[in-house]
Amino acid sequence: MANALHNGRYVLDTAEAVIAAGTALRLLSVLFVGTTDEDDCILHDGGGKEIWKCKLGDVSVHGYQSGHVFGGGNGIIVDGLDLDTIDHGKLYVYLGKL
């Protein structure tokens, strides 16, 4: 699958995917669904600042998912997004209105 926008959420599965470079976005939450042990996922803003990262452990013990809600549900403002690293799986990115 290629990176796609579905019903107000981005579904990303390709490293170096860029969302709205140079544009202010309200990032509400992310959910990483990995497929194998030790999957990595690193999300930066457009300026290279790390926004969120995850490294799944043994998925049989810790599960396949990890996520985060930003700003107590109100989100945070970021300058575009760059999915720097994703080993396997998908990152669901939920954006809100500015």
Pairing of the two strands 76-86 and 17-33: antiparallel
The per-residue pLDDT for 85 is 92
Residues 6+ apart with CB under 8 A from 49: none
pLDDT band at 62 (very low <50, low <70, confident <90, very high): low
For residues 29-47, average pLDDT: 89
For residues 90-97, average pLDDT: 92
Domains and CATH numbers, the chain: 4-96 (2.60.120)
For residues 53-60, average pLDDT: 80
Mean pLDDT of the chain: 87
Alpha-carbon distance 41 to 33, whole Å?
10
The per-residue pLDDT for 5 is 64
* Model pTM score: 0.87
